[in-house]
């Protein structure tokens, strides 16, 4: 019984490690997509800045 529990614990720990690795890769992908989208928006609109640090403003905001 104890060996079965140990084996199950090891299996679950391996699954946790795999899920953490997958989550990390997904977070990197989301950050890459976020950066790319804002780069494309700035290029399209001829603007600079990033909304995450408060330096981005759309034309309507800057005119008021």
pLDDT recorded at residue 59: 55
Q: How confident is the model at residue 42 (pLDDT cuts 50, 70, 90)?
A: confident
Residue 39 zone, left/alpha/beta (φ > 0; ψ -120 to 50; rest)? alpha
| Model confidence at 2: pLDDT above 50 | yes
pLDDT recorded at residue 46: 81
49 in Cβ contact with 57 (< 8 Å):
yes
> How far, in Å, CA of 20 to CA of 59, rounded?
41
pLDDT recorded at residue 64: 38
Residue bearing the bigger pLDDT, 10 or 52? 10
Q: What is the residue extent of each domain of the chain?
A: 2-63
pTM, full prediction: 0.60
């Amino acid at each position: 019984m104890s060996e079965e529990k140990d084996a199950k614990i090891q299996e679950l720990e391996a699954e946790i490690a795999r899920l953490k690795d997958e989550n990390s890769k997904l977070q990197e992908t989301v950050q890459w997509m976020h950066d790319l989208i804002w780069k494309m928006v700035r290029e399209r609109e001829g603007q600079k800045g990033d909304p995450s640090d408060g330096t981005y403003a759309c034309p309507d905001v800057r005119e008021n």
